[in-house]
Chain A
Amino acid sequence: MTAGGDGPRRVDRLSLVVGVLFALAGVVFLLDALGVWTLRGDYLVPVGLIVLGLVVLASDWPLGSRRS
């Protein structure tokens, strides 16, 4: 319910998914900066492709409400 009582508020799925991925990527980079683990440069491109694919899939995935 929204504050105005005019139906459920719509969530922008792309912003939600991308935001979560940014936060996860930030954690990975932070752990690298703090020396907890070392990121390998040659892993970045394939991992980036996987993440990009997930973003594309998730941005059009049904979430909660059905499309009209």
Chain B
Amino acid sequence: MTTDPAPQRPAAAADRHGPAAATVLVGALLVLVGIGWLLDAGGVGVPWRAILPAALIAVGLACAAGAFQGRQHALMVVGVALTLLLSVAVAADWNLDLPLAGGVGDRTARPATPAELRRYELGVGNLQLDLRQLQVPAGTTAVEARVGIGELDVRLPDGVAVDVVASSGLGQVQVLGREEGGLASRIETSAGDGDRRLRLDVRSGLGQVRVER
């Protein structure tokens, strides 16, 4: 009497002792980014610039650990993409801090007094900062604005000296008639005289920055 051999499981299934490393990694990264975003929205400072390198370390460890289960194509693709992104960011001096807490959408701010000034932040969208009605006192008044992805448009008051530092990780920068474009665009300039001075520091991670009177 003969017996049929027991059906063999596919080799891939036999090697699987749990979820794939790529699945665990992607899930964990999504959870971590969500937690970071929540903390950021709650006012806790999250070092987003350190998130991508940390993600690359995690991808590398998962790829090395997964080597015992076979070739990790997906993790290698993710790792190469992260490495390229970080390399370009370093080479172009990108600031990868994304002001997610600033929210999403189009915003307009028209501060009239120095007391109304704050640090203006927008995650994604267009921010228009109209300073034409601002009563600038004697001395130096600092204004800072950040947009993660989108356009930042600043209108300056008349009769006030200005020191402007405007930059964009990738996009056009126009400041008082000067213009630059491309990767890591930056214009630093001053205009006007007087004891009332406005120091403006504006930046968009990805998008246009425009400063004009």
Interface, chain A (partner B; CB < 8 A): 3-4, 9, 11-16, 18-30, 32-34, 39, 41, 44, 48
Contacts and interface: CB of A to CB of B under 8 A. Distances in A.
Contacts, number: 104
20 contacts: A11-B67, A12-B72, A15-B66, A16-B63, A16-B67, A19-B64, A20-B60, A22-B59, A23-B61, A25-B60, A25-B83, A25-B86, A26-B53, A26-B56, A26-B82, A29-B52, A29-B56, A32-B53, A33-B49, A44-B90
Interface residues of B, number: 38
A28 B67 CA distance: 23
Interface of B: 14-15, 17, 47, 49-50, 52-68, 70-72, 75-76, 79, 82-83, 86-87, 90-93, 96
A5 to B, nearest CB: 12
A14 B56 CA distance: 17
B84 to A, nearest CB: 9
